[in-house]
A and B are shown apart, each in its own frame.
Chain A
């Protein structure tokens, strides 16, 4: 047993999408855990299985997608065996979620107040009066002035930044222990994004929230993550402490992703940026060995052997037989 009970522990998570005759293995053997008060960032290109990993935790997979998991433990509850009904009681109450686009995840025909209050009434034995008070308190807490006015407004009357603040308040209504955020700031201006990230960090500390944050923006990840998990083609290729993974990337994919980003002061303006040639392999293919093989600049025959798997260097996990070789090679 750990000294500290993990908030969430996921072991051997797989997601299959079946359509027609082919089964696509879109998430393969993913394991991770989240501590109380900690932020785990899941990063990778689009189509790498980040969002499906998060959705599958909550039982929110689209039709046709199926989850297989060895262990999915949320504190004292084993979630993998829960029915949809039992999951529903957990969702929104103890585990909350914030999506990328607040316009499509808020209901346009109800006021902000109705939506905030209903979620609490659904899960907790409180009176409407108490629920309204909590909604007002939380709107103030997420930095919204005159909450009385906002409660009576409809989503379309709010700006993008305000809507996302409402989403955060809504996620906090029932006092969750775990918050799953799927690119919550991608659609926003950089200044608004910076404010919201600060707010999320504050709230996380105040409520001791575990946070799973999905993003493809490595700059943002560097700012908020404690732990980072890099996914490629449905598999974890590198994971560990954020400072370690981002400053000292060991998998060629992580290294190359970091190099693609222009960094003012380091990158020569108008110079050729490095990029990753090729595309993600089709999910119909059986992948043996390293999933990044086709696009890797330092691949060799041994990378395709079945024994290639996620290996630990202390707390830093890497799926590569030559960890760090790409970076070392070019520094010499």
Chain B
């Protein structure tokens, strides 16, 4: 199996305003950014709010079109693939497991929806797939008829991860997947993500402001400041031998117990 890659190549992007206050030349939210996510590995992305982390996530998902440069999935421009095809290869896990799940759907319905939307299998095979995935993320059978409100934050995040994996994507974008969770639950979710990566050969883009967590899960780390990449390299090199002053500042602001 050849490795899958999703990358931004020299991508620039500016949010355009419409209407009366339209800006002719939008200010650059991203400036010549290149970043790569490869199946089986984790690319960590850190930076302060407003630095463009979420813009990168949206570009990689094909929700935004770059104003310069290109987004490539396995070497092909991303916009050449249809939306449905993209969804089969690239999925996303959001920060807040409270607002990212439909409150009126049971866990089984939530996990079934991606399969139905893509007309995959019949009722029976879909149910089997849902059960298998629930098992893989550590949710017992008893959860299938429950609703999100009955679940704890950690359990909801497991559902969100299971939903992202239903279509067997190659690349998963995780936007602060553990920031809303307690440390005891955070470690469970990180263990689960690493486990699933090994099992399915997933490529992660792991966005977080917690450098200790990013260092733990990542192979590569990219540091973003005001839409520009200020440092990238192996997780070990970036964390222990940072070159850029902003990276150094981020690392010194990371608090760890004695």
Contacts and interface: CB of A to CB of B under 8 A. Distances in A.
Interface of A: 45-46, 160, 189-194, 216-223, 243, 246-247, 256-258, 260-265, 267, 269-270, 272-276, 279
Contact of A270 (B48, B217, B240, B257): B217
B253 A261 contact: no
Contacts of B235: 269
Contacts of B218: 269
B49 to A, nearest CB: 6
Q: Which of B152, B253, B255 has the most CB of A within 10 A?
A: B255
6 contacts: A45-B185, A217-B183, A246-B257, A257-B184, A260-B184, A269-B236
Contacts of A262: 187, 190, 212-213, 215-216
B251 to A, nearest CB: 9
Judged by DSSP, the binding face of B is helix
A263 B255 contact: no
B240 to A, nearest CB: 7
B144 interface: no
A196 to B, nearest CB: 11
A265 B257 CA distance: 13
Given A216-B182, A223-B255, A264-B211, 15 more contacts: A46-B153, A189-B49, A190-B253, A193-B253, A217-B255, A219-B256, A243-B258, A256-B184, A261-B257, A262-B212, A262-B216, A264-B239, A273-B191, A275-B185, A275-B191
B89 interface: no
Interface in B131-164: 152-153
Nearest to B218: A269
Interface of B: 48-49, 152-153, 182-188, 190-191, 194, 209-213, 215-218, 235-236, 239-240, 249-250, 252-258
Contact of B253 (A194, A216, A256): A194
B215 A264 contact: yes
B215 A45 contact: no
A80 B217 CA distance: 49
Contacts of A269: 215-218, 235-236
A207 to B, nearest CB: 24
B253 A260 contact: no
A258 B249 CA distance: 24
Nearest to B215: A264
Contacts of B210: 190
Given A189-B48, A265-B240, A273 B182 contact: no
A279 B153 CA distance: 11
A261 B212 contact: yes
B182 A46 contact: yes
Contacts of A270: 194, 216-217
Contacts of A223: 255
B104 to A, nearest CB: 24
Q: Which of A190, A220, A260, A263 has the most CB of B within 10 A?
A: A190
Contact of A191 (B194, B250, B256): B250
A223 B254 CA distance: 11
Contacts of B187: 260-262, 273-275
A221 B256 CA distance: 9
Nearest to B183: A260
A257 B253 contact: no
A221 B212 CA distance: 16
B249 to A, nearest CB: 6
Contacts of B184: 45, 256-257, 260, 275-276
A191 B48 contact: yes
A260 B189 CA distance: 11
Contacts of A256: 184
Nearest to B195: A272
A247 B258 CA distance: 6
B52 to A, nearest CB: 14
Contacts of A264: 211-212, 215-216, 239-240, 256
A261 B256 contact: yes
Nearest to A224: B255
Contacts of B249: 191
B190 A273 contact: yes
B184 to A, nearest CB: 4
B257 A222 contact: yes
B182 A190 contact: no
A257 B187 CA distance: 10
A273 B240 contact: no
